[in-house]
Structure 1
Amino acid sequence: MSEKMPCSKYIVAALFFAVLLQGSLSNAQLSPTFYDETCPNVTNIIRDVLMNASLSDPRIGASLIRLHFHDCFVQGCDASILLDDPANGEKEALPNNNSARGYEVVDAMKAVLESACPNTVSCADILAIASEESVCLAGGPSWAVPLGRRDGLTANRTLANSNLPGFNESLEAIKSKFTAVGLDTSTDVVALSGAHTFGRAQCFTFTSRLYNFTGEGDTDPTLNTTYLEALSQICPQGGNGSVLTDLDPTTPDAFDSNYFTNLQVNRGLLRSDQQLFSTEGADTIEIVNRFAANQTAFFESFVESMIRMGNISLLTGTAGEIRTNCRAVNAATIRSYSDDVLVSSI
């Protein structure tokens, strides 16, 4: 296995904030050293699988961060998004269906970990580590990921449909969803949105801004006209809504602060992105300007916000379980649950 190497010069500051937050969070039940004795190579294993996957899929890093985000906002960071459940699975929720991806890479990570450290590393922790490594490998900060999450036993499609921030929602609506999970409505919103500094989006997520913004066949006035013309070539009216384009048109595969400089010139791809800067009087404007001018400030705030997000509604100790297959609850857990139901009905 490869040694853990710093991904950028911002690692010292990032690690400082990680340690600082460990002592201040109300849910500080996690520890970066959680697997030091039981699975000391966990990060190396996840990184190796990620690096191999990225050779054929440069989007995978951004996709794995999105899985972590979309997991934590539903029932907390419990890997419920990974469960295959035709009736209630979050994979089929509107924000995820034919959109969220990377499940097979998580499966590969879990398979290697089960071989090296059976019944030890949770799927929820895999998502957290994979997110950090994805940022790191794209040139962003590295941090000591707090670990010790356990996996949930159920998915919740209804909550996934209602809790996840949408690409066409107002800034006010997005802020309310951050408040609901205990995150800050200014810095956390802007910093976590900064994950859109790399990755891709499908045409259907922004074509209303190009052709029918208010239902009158108009365009979004906050969209840079030159950028509008370029996007119209990629996503013609009535065209294939699944065609991909870069979230960051300047450095699409790098984790940097260009996402924020793009917002300053109205080149945010999604409405939810551009509103951080273009909503009149919003407290997010100053933060966008600060991050655009100071990449170190962005990196440090991003680490803080990722750690806060990773602490949403934790399952630790004996709660939940450590799934052996990230797609399914363990068979023993299912049998135990069935027995409990039978006893309670007698």
Structure 2
Amino acid sequence: MHHIVVIVAHTTGFAQCFTFKRRLFNFKGSDKPDPTLDSSLLSSLRSTCPNVDSSNSQLAPPDSATSSMFDNAYYKNLVSNSGLLKSDQALMGDSKTSSMINSYSMYPFLFSKDFGESMVKPGYGVNGVREVSQNKEIRKKCGSIN
């Protein structure tokens, strides 16, 4: 269940074009798009993020259908090769995470239940006291080590 905390962050919000633009135009130096990316998503993203430097700060949602809702659509997108970020879509290549993603895409209640449990169990010990081991830290900024 620990994987859910990592991947749930992309169920809402936006990503800047520079974080995924290589998938649209020059995947792995091929001068072609990522062949696993859904073609209709590719077309839409190319419109939002044209292949010019000035589009780097444009924003695109990881889940365009329900970008402001906390739901399981993100997982459905991964199952249909419509994951915005390459790192997210790569989760389908691992048997443990792909199994979890398939389950969450089919059963929204399971996703909600597991998410709730994952937020409580690792974060708080007895009587709600925060526990932090020597190998963990509470980050001030999600993408940066303190």
**Which of 16, 21, 27 is residue 202 of structure 1 equivalent to?**
16
Q: Could you tell me the percent identity over the aligned residues?
A: 38
Distance 2:5 2:108 in 1: 11
**Which of 29, 45, 56 is residue 231 of structure 1 equivalent to?**
45
Residues 192 and 306 of structure 1 are in contact (CA less than 8 Å); yes or no, is this contact kept in structure 2?
A: no
Q: Give the secondary-structure state (helix, strand or coil) at the position aligned to 1:229.
A: helix
**Which of 4, 13, 33 is residue 219 of structure 1 equivalent to?**
33
Distance 1:266 1:192 in 2: 19
Q: Aligned-pair distance for 1:263?
A: 1.0
Distance 2:6 2:110 in 1: 13
Distance 1:303 1:249 in 2: 24
TM-score (norm 1): 0.35
Distance 2:33 2:4 in 1: 24
Which runs of structure 2 are paired with 1:246-261 in the superposition (5 Å)?
246-261=61-76
Distance 1:235 1:308 in 2: 39
Which runs of structure 2 are paired with 1:163-182 in the superposition (5 Å)?
none
**Which of 256, 266, 274 is residue 89 of structure 2 equivalent to?**
274
Q: Aligned-pair distance for 1:308?
A: 4.3
Q: Aligned-pair distance for 1:267?
A: 1.0
Equivalenced residues, count: 128
CA distance change for structure 1 residues 219 and 296 in 2, over 3 Å: closer, same or farther? same
Q: Which has the larger radius of gyration?
A: 1
Residues 17 and 56 of structure 2 are in contact (CA less than 8 Å); yes or no, is this contact kept in structure 1?
A: yes
Q: Give the secondary-structure state (helix, strand or coil) at the position aligned to 1:251.
A: coil
CA distance change for structure 1 residues 215 and 256 in 2, over 3 Å: closer, same or farther? same
One-letter amino acid of the structure 1 residue matched with residue 65 of structure 2:
T
Residues 4 and 118 of structure 2 are in contact (CA less than 8 Å); yes or no, is this contact kept in structure 1?
A: no
Q: What's the counterpart of residue 297 of structure 1?
A: 110
Distance 2:131 2:25 in 1: 40
Report the aligned-residue RMSD: 2.2
Distance 2:73 2:10 in 1: 10
Q: Aligned-pair distance for 1:247?
A: 1.5
One-letter amino acid of the structure 1 residue matched with residue 26 of structure 2:
N
Q: Deviations over 1:289-328 (max 9, x none)?
A: 111111111111112222345359628xxxxxxxxxx9xx
Q: Give the secondary-structure state (helix, strand or coil) at the position aligned to 2:60.
A: strand
Residues 190 and 288 of structure 1 are in contact (CA less than 8 Å); yes or no, is this contact kept in structure 2?
A: no
Flag structure 2 segments of 5+ consecutive residues without an equivalent: 125-129, 134-139, 141-146
Q: Aligned-pair distance for 1:191?
A: 4.9
Which runs of structure 2 are paired with 1:297-316 in the superposition (5 Å)?
297-310=110-123, 314=132
Residues 192 and 302 of structure 1 are in contact (CA less than 8 Å); yes or no, is this contact kept in structure 2?
A: no
Q: What's the counterpart of residue 265 of structure 1?
A: 80
Q: Aligned-pair distance for 1:282?
A: 2.3
One-letter amino acid of the structure 2 residue matched with residue 256 of structure 1:
D
